A and B are shown apart, each in its own frame.
Chain A
């Protein structure tokens, strides 16, 4: 029997495969494989070994933390953390994006940040593009 868990928490277990759409209010931790769109009010964690193939519809969540594999575009209201060992391919839109050393990332980063005064001719935010292996 599975242990009782906090009621708002969801976990896709290590051996589990989900094909389809996941939506909801709560948080989600993915340790297995998910193929499909994810739309959460809460936080998304992709643990080590976990994988999400979000396709064209992408991932929408409050914050996103990736230690596993993620393919697809991400829209986060809060921060996106790409941790060491993660493999990420897709465009990241978030309040902030961090990429740890040891992560592999391909895509566009779109985060709000303040430019230094000497570059701020066109406003206080702009789109950055980063490529990193």
Chain B
């Protein structure tokens, strides 16, 4: 409930740090650190490194994603950057360029 939502008309240039989850429908440039989940919805743009719990991406991410849990690149996602996670899915229709590190 106490989650952070960056609405579709909003741009944040800077750093976000939170213990809860973050939903990005707008634009974020900088750095995103969330103890809980991060969701980048379709139309959302993140030009930032993401450090988070579970990450769900259906929008655009340019930057590295480091998750303590899983990363789901959903249909329509466009990710350029490295992904570090314990589990990862890349759906049909997701675009991804980068390295995967599953820490094995």
Shortest C-beta distance, B76 to chain A (Å), equals: 16
Query: Which residues of B are at the interface with A, using a C-beta cutoff of 8 A?
Result: 2-23, 25-26, 30, 37, 39, 56
Number of A-B residue pairs with CB-CB distance less than 8 Å in the complex they form: 101
A101 within 8 A of B: no
With A19-B14, A19-B15, A24-B26 already in contact, the answer to whether A14 and B9 are too (CB < 8 A) is no
> How far is A31 from B2 in the complex, measured between Cα atoms in Å?
8
Query: Which residues of A are at the interface with B, using a C-beta cutoff of 8 A?
Result: 1-2, 5-28, 31-32, 36, 41-42
Docked-complex contact A24 and B7, CB < 8 angstroms: yes
Shortest C-beta distance, A84 to chain B (Å), equals: 22
| Residues of chain B with a CB closer than 8 A to A15's CB | 2, 18-20
Docked-complex contact A23 and B10, CB < 8 angstroms: yes
Name which residue of chain B comes closest to A22, CB basis: B12
Contact of B9 (CB < 8 Å), options: A11, A13, A17, A24: A24
| Residues of chain A with a CB closer than 8 A to B8's CB | 7-8, 26
Docked-complex contact A7 and B4, CB < 8 angstroms: no
| Residues of chain B with a CB closer than 8 A to A26's CB | 7-10, 26
| Residues of chain B with a CB closer than 8 A to A9's CB | 5, 7
> How far is A35 from B56 in the complex, measured between Cα atoms in Å?
27
Shortest C-beta distance, B26 to chain A (Å), equals: 7
> How far is A100 from B5 in the complex, measured between Cα atoms in Å?
29
> How far is A16 from B19 in the complex, measured between Cα atoms in Å?
7
> How far is A94 from B31 in the complex, measured between Cα atoms in Å?
33
| Residues of chain B with a CB closer than 8 A to A27's CB | 7
With A19-B15, A31-B2 already in contact, the answer to whether A24 and B10 are too (CB < 8 A) is yes
